[in-house]
């Protein structure tokens, strides 16, 4: 993180609640200023179908590879049905219940705007997981 803000809360992937929020193409990532979810929520996609404001709670799992000294954080794939969504970014964050204290873990660029029109909007988590630590 940059000098302008610091996360003062611990993150525990085993016990904390994590969510995935979708952002529109209007979002511009600024890692120095965007530390908590309230700094990006103005660009959240409109709630539609089964997508709710604040995103979806993820079911996380962790794995380790002692041979290659790696650890991975994974999550189940997510889908939103009957949804009209146009999303360019997905934000993984720890949900504290308060946007101003819910730290962003990472922001994923989906590469282009992905859309659904009163259909199913799906996010398939990479087979390598959300995060790999080595």
Q: What is the pLDDT of residues 36-86, one digit of tens each?
A: 999 999 999 998 899 999 999 999 888 787 887 888 888 999 999 999 999
Q: What is the pTM assigned to this prediction? A: 0.86
Q: Is residue 7 part of a domain?
A: no
Identify the CA nearest to 120 among candidates 41, 73, 51, 58. 51
* Residue, of 6 and 11, whose pLDDT is higher: 11
Q: Is residue 86 part of a domain?
A: yes
**3-state secondary structure (DSSP) of residue 127:** coil
Q: Is residue 108 part of a domain?
A: yes
pLDDT exceeds 50 at position 4? no
Dihedral over Cα of 37, 7, 109, 64: its sign: negative
**3-state secondary structure (DSSP) of residue 25:** coil
Q: Is residue 10 part of a domain?
A: no
Number of domains in the chain: 1
Domain housing 27 = 18-133
Half-sphere exposure of residue 94, counting CA atoms within 13 Å on the CB side? Answer: 17
Q: Is residue 3 part of a domain?
A: no
């Amino acid at each position: 993180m940059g000098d302008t803000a610091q996360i003062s809360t611990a993150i525990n992937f085993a016990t904390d609640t994590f969510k995935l929020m979708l952002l529109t193409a209007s979002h511009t990532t600024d890692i120095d200023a965007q530390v908590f979810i309230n700094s990006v929520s103005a660009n959240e996609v409109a709630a539609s179908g089964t997508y709710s404001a604040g995103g979806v709670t993820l079911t996380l799992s962790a794995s380790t590879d002692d041979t290659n000294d790696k650890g991975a954080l994974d999550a189940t794939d997510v889908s939103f049905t009957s949804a009209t969504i146009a999303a360019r970014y997905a934000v993984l964050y720890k949900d504290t219940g308060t946007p101003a204290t819910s730290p962003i873990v990472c922001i994923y660029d989906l590469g282009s705007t992905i859309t659904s029109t009163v259909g199913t909007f799906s996010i398939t988590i990479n087979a390598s997981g959300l995060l790999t630590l080595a």
